[in-house]
Amino acid sequence: MALLEVKNLTVEFGSEDKPFRAVDSVSYSVDRGEVLGIVGESGSGKSVSSLAVMGLIDFPGRVSADALTFDGQDLITMPAKRRREITGKDIAMIFQDPMSALNPCFTVEAQIMEALKVHEGGNKKQRRERTLDLLNQVGIPDPKSRMTAYPHQLSGGMSQRIVIAMAIACNPRLLIADEPTTALDVTIQAQIIDLLLKLQEDSDMGLILITHDLALVSEAANRIQVMYAGQLFESGPADSIFAAPRHPYTQALLEALPERSEGHDRLRTIPGVVPGQYDRPQGCLLAPRCRYANDHCVKARPEVTDFNGRDVRCFYPLNDQGQPTGLTADTTTGETV
Amino acid sequence: MLGFLFRRLGDIIPTFFGVTLLVFFLIRLIPGDPILMMAGERGVDAVRYAELKAQYGFDQPVIVQYFDYLIGVFQGDLGKSFVTKKPVIDEFLTLFPATVELATMGILFAVIFGIPFGVLAAIHRGKWIDHLTMSLSLTGYSMPIFWWALLLIMFFSTTLGWTPISGRISVMYFFEPVTGFMLIDSLLSGEKGAFASAFSHLILPTVALGTIPMAVIARMTRSSMLEVLGEEYIRVARAKGLAPMRVIMVHALRNALIPVITVIGLQVGVLLAGAILTETIFSWPGIGKWIIEAMNRRDYPTIQGGILMIAFLVMAVNLIVDLLYGIINPRIRYKR
């Protein structure tokens, strides 16, 4: 059984009769020792879906799912108190901006020890030792003197290491890293990712890596999940997605990589933005931005289907040559292909 | 920390000069001659008038009078009351504990109710509990003290008879003041029921005086709390699996209190101003009532001394608030 099993997770905001679906029937699973990469533009529901897994979606947000289980335990029906025992201990999360993730009023030591106190107990001395241990583990130079530092005295990279130390304090079995490097310098980014992957390997954790850095995900993840406007667009093994994207959106994302624009005057982009609450298209959510879209795409919404062993949400999944399949004469408009 | 303290103390000196200037000259702008006031209805002849004028130094140029006054102040001499002929500082010190007692109770009342109301409103944002506490606090804020105090007296003292109408303690009890604080003295006296009597006399003035600061604190706590609750570190704290109560009371409230503490400090000034009204209505023998009487009699030394001492107090409280600020917020402690 997978460590985390998410089936048709939906997160809605707004009124009951006119809800906005930030996450729309997303399914995935993560195994022990596995790295799942979730990619997509800003506003595609990556963070919201993982917050739902953490149980951090507040009123007026509504979370529903056919299944949301961790290690066989149902997270949805579980009492709040029991769930908090899992949150922070077995499932931990790292957030985007390390500079705002630490409470400015408390020392590094206090913030790490707090997590230990809640979940593991022990006495103050043990917790302090463990904290020192953790700081060493995440590569903080001179950890002893950093213990009593306040967040404003730390650099961004240093703060992110502290945040990571805080997350792995109770030896979680699943770690969710929500764009852990977005707010950091490029030089620091690689270090932090290396650190995360090393920790993941050492303790055989499951890791969900949320990012919009495709290059990063291609190296780190076993499986990739492409999300768009709250929906799952494509998922499958990392290398095969990179070799042959099946969804036009994945293809466009990959083409936007700078290294794939060699020989072009300009970097390739995807025109337009992710639809928000008020401009959601009636048909396929990507239709206004998709280069292959036709009338059918504008009118009807595709479901996730299996295509060559991969989950794809598209009427016309791409073949190995990157061309849409299944287009027939009557659905084709002049513009496509 | 010590350097910070000295810098802040340094800031106080020019403010102090400013207050002496204001108080000295403003009081002389009010129409009315203190010597004629002292003479009363019978009046005084020109020779005696000139004599008295010279005696009190009013024949000197105002600027000379000011420096004479200033020199006195720096030697700890606030002058003697024109009316009672007693040193101003002695009168002040006798009456001061009563005001401090009232003001302390007022601010305690404001903090003890204001902060929880603000927190409650923030965590139930947009629900009835939020609307209720916020409209109550707006009502409290808009209520003139003298009117509110009278309403309280009418309802609780006259109609219900639960609390005494005025004074600090029932006339049945008499003991020598030790600290000047009635609550403490009544305990020290060992007389049965004295403390309860002193306490019941304090309730209504405390409520009347503390209502406005409470409303301000509640509103400030609410908005500050709402801002903090949206911060990422609150989410991080929750992601640690902490109980909601701990997240709110430890992680959020501590950060939210930073602006609230400033407001509490500023309210002390408001409180002392309010004490003047409250003391007058409840016949509370404090400095508020004392200054009002001095003003009616153009008792210059008393007015100057009283206001100077109050200003000094407000500055001292704000200094303490600044220091507290540093304790609560590490970013301020280490900066500069």
Length of chain B: 336
Collect all residues of chain B within an 8 Å Cβ-Cβ radius of residue A101.
Answer: 232-233, 236
The pLDDT score that the predictor gives to residue A334 is 44
The pLDDT score that the predictor gives to residue B1 is 65
Beta-carbon separation of A103 and B232 below 8 A: no
Give the pairing of strands A206-211 and A174-178.
parallel
Spatial CA neighbour of B82 closest among B297, B314, B305: B297
Q: Does B240 touch chain A (CB under 8 A)?
A: yes
The pLDDT score that the predictor gives to residue A337 is 39
CB A88 within 8 A of CB A115: yes
Collect all residues of chain B within an 8 Å Cβ-Cβ radius of residue A175.
Answer: none
A75-121 pLDDT, tens per residue?
888 888 888 888 888 999 998 888 889 998 899 999 999 989 888 88
Length of chain A: 337
List CB contacts of A153: < 8 A, sequence separation 6 or more: B334
Q: Mind telling me how many Å the CA of A8 is from chain B's nearest CA? A: 23
As a whole number, mean pLDDT of residues A123-139 equals 89
Spatial CA neighbour of A56 closest among B237, B252, B124: B237
Find where tokens 């479901």 sit. Answer: A303
Q: Does B231 touch chain A (CB under 8 A)?
A: yes
Beta-carbon separation of B255 and A56 below 8 A: no
Q: What residue of B is the nearest CA neighbor of A87?
A: B241
Q: Mind telling me how many Å the CA of A63 is from chain B's nearest CA? A: 17
Beta-carbon separation of A105 and B254 below 8 A: yes
- Rounded to whole angstroms, how far apart are CA atoms B165 and B154? 9
The pLDDT score that the predictor gives to residue B336 is 44
Q: Per-residue pLDDT for B38 more than 80?
A: no
Residue B41 lies in a domain: no
Query: For chain B, what is the domain count?
Result: 1
From the list B243, B328, B329, the residue facing A84 with the nearest CB is B243
Collect all residues of chain B within an 8 Å Cβ-Cβ radius of residue A95.
Answer: 232, 235-236, 239
Where residue A184 falls among pLDDT bands split at 50, 70, 90?
A: confident
Q: What residue of B is the nearest CA neighbor of A94?
A: B236
As a whole number, mean pLDDT of residues B126-143 equals 90
Q: What residue of A is the nearest CA neighbor of B125?
A: A59
Task: Name the DSSP letter for residue B157.
Answer: I
Q: Does B236 touch chain A (CB under 8 A)?
A: yes
Beta-carbon separation of B231 and A100 below 8 A: yes
Q: Mind telling me how many Å the CA of B130 is from chain A's nearest CA? A: 15
- Rounded to whole angstroms, how far apart are CA atoms A1 and B255? 43
Q: Which residues pair with A123 in a beta bridge?
A: none
Q: Does A155 touch chain B (CB under 8 A)?
A: no
**Contacts with B, A 89-128, CB within 8 Å:** 89, 92-93, 95-97, 100-106, 114-115, 118-119
Between A132 and B79, the higher pLDDT residue: A132
The pLDDT score that the predictor gives to residue A332 is 47
- Rounded to whole angstroms, how far apart are CA atoms B141 and B152? 15
Beta-carbon separation of A86 and B241 below 8 A: yes
Number of neighbouring beta carbons within 10 Å of residue A13: 15
Specify the range with the lowest mean pLDDT, choosing from A214-223, B185-194, B241-250. Answer: B185-194
Number of neighbouring beta carbons within 10 Å of residue B262: 16
- Peptide bond connecting B213 to the previous residue in cis, omega within 30 degrees of 0: no
Where residue B333 falls among pLDDT bands split at 50, 70, 90?
A: low
A148-163 pLDDT, tens per residue?
899 988 888 889 889 9
Q: Per-residue pLDDT for A329 more than 70?
A: no
Residue B230 lies in a domain: yes
Beta-carbon separation of A150 and B328 below 8 A: no
Mean pLDDT score of chain A? 86
Answer positive or negative: Cα dihedral of A30, A36, A41, A46: positive
Collect all residues of chain B within an 8 Å Cβ-Cβ radius of residue A163.
Answer: 236
- Rounded to whole angstroms, how far apart are CA atoms B299 and A201? 83
B258-274 pLDDT, tens per residue?
889 888 888 887 888 78
Collect all residues of chain A within an 8 Å Cβ-Cβ radius of residue B232.
Answer: 95-97, 100-101
Q: Per-residue pLDDT for B39 more than 80?
A: no
Residue B123 lies in a domain: yes
Domains (range + CATH), chain A: 4-228 (3.40.50.300), 247-337 (no CATH)
As a whole number, mean pLDDT of residues A318-325 equals 85
List CB contacts of B2: < 8 A, sequence separation 6 or more: none
Residue B16 lies in a domain: no
From the list A89, A105, A106, the residue facing B241 with the nearest CB is A89
As a whole number, mean pLDDT of residues A199-210 equals 91
At how many degrees (to 10) do helices B300-328 and B253-281 cross?
A: 160
Which ipTM score applies to this complex? 0.84
Residue B217 lies in a domain: yes
- Rounded to whole angstroms, how far apart are CA atoms A160 and A156? 6
Residue B213 lies in a domain: yes
Q: What residue of B is the nearest CA neighbor of A86?
A: B241
* Coil/strand/helix, residue B297: coil
What are the CB-based long-range contacts (under 8 Å, 24+) for A187-193?
A: A188/A156, A188/A157, A188/A160, A189/A216, A191/A139, A191/A157, A192/A157, A192/A160, A192/A161, A192/A164, A193/A220
A11-56 pLDDT, tens per residue?
988 888 888 888 888 888 899 999 999 998 888 888 899 899 888 8
Beta-carbon separation of B330 and A86 below 8 A: no
Q: Mind telling me how many Å the CA of B13 is from chain A's nearest CA? A: 32
3-state secondary structure chain A: CCCEEEEEEEEEECCCCCCEEEEEEEEEEECCCCEEEEECCCCCCHHHHHHHHHCCCCCCCEEECCEEEECCEECCCCCHHHHHHHECCCEEEECCCHHHHCCCCCCHHHHHHHHHHHHHCCCHHHHHHHHHHHHHHCCCCCHHHHCCCCHHHCCHHHHHHHHHHHHHCCCCCEEEEECCCCCCCHHHHHHHHHHHHHHHHHHCCEEEEEECCHHHHHHHCCEEEEEECCEEEEEEEHHHHHHCCCCHHHHHHHHCCHHHHCCCCCCCCCCCCCCCCCCCCCCCCCHHHCCCCCHHHHHCCCCCEEECCEEECCCCCECCCCCECCCCCCCCCCCCC
The pLDDT score that the predictor gives to residue A335 is 45
Most B-contacting residue of A85, A89, A105 (CB-CB within 10 A), to test interface: A105
Tokens of A30: 């993560």
Q: Does B238 touch chain A (CB under 8 A)?
A: yes
What is the percentage of chain A residues whose pLDDT exceeds 70? 97
Where residue B334 falls among pLDDT bands split at 50, 70, 90?
A: low
Where residue A328 falls among pLDDT bands split at 50, 70, 90?
A: low
Spatial CA neighbour of B109 closest among B211, B196, B223, B258: B211
Residue B256 lies in a domain: yes
Find where tokens 């608030």 sit. Answer: B321
What is the percentage of chain B residues whose pLDDT exceeds 90? 15
- Rounded to whole angstroms, how far apart are CA atoms A141 and A95? 22
Where residue B98 falls among pLDDT bands split at 50, 70, 90?
A: confident
* Amino acid, single-letter form, for residue A315: F
Collect all residues of chain A within an 8 Å Cβ-Cβ radius of residue B237.
Answer: 103
CATH number reported for the structural domain that contains residue B126 in this entry:
1.10.3720.10
- Rounded to whole angstroms, how far apart are CA atoms B205 and B286? 12
Beta-carbon separation of B233 and A150 below 8 A: no
- From residue B186, give the alpha-carbon distance in Å to each of A97, B92, B237, B284: 57, 21, 47, 16
Q: Does B235 touch chain A (CB under 8 A)?
A: yes
Between A334 and A319, the higher pLDDT residue: A319
CB B146 within 8 A of CB B158: no
Q: What residue of A is the nearest CA neighbor of B256?
A: A105
Q: Mind telling me how many Å the CA of B167 is from chain A's nearest CA? A: 44
Q: What residue of B is the nearest CA neighbor of A54?
A: B239
Beta-carbon separation of B240 and A54 below 8 A: no
As a whole number, mean pLDDT of residues A305-310 equals 84
As a whole number, mean pLDDT of residues B93-110 equals 88
Dmax (CA) for chain A in angstroms is: 74
Collect all residues of chain B within an 8 Å Cβ-Cβ radius of residue A87.
Answer: 238-241
CB A235 within 8 A of CB A28: yes
**Where does residue A95 rank: exposed (0-12), middle (13-18), buried (19+ CB within 10 A)?**
buried
Tokens of A88: 């922070």
Q: Does A323 touch chain B (CB under 8 A)?
A: no
CB B306 within 8 A of CB B290: yes
Q: Per-residue pLDDT for B4 more than 80?
A: no
pTM, rounded to two decimals? 0.79
Tokens of B70: 């200033």
Please give the backbone phi and psi of residue A306, each rounded to the nearest 5 degrees, phi first: -85, 125
Q: Mind telling me how many Å the CA of B241 is from chain A's nearest CA? A: 5
Beta-carbon separation of B241 and A101 below 8 A: no
Q: Note down the domain range covering B93.
A: 88-334
- Rounded to whole angstroms, how far apart are CA atoms A78 and A90? 15
Between B332 and B58, the higher pLDDT residue: B58
Residue B66 lies in a domain: no
Task: Name the DSSP letter for residue B295.
Answer: H
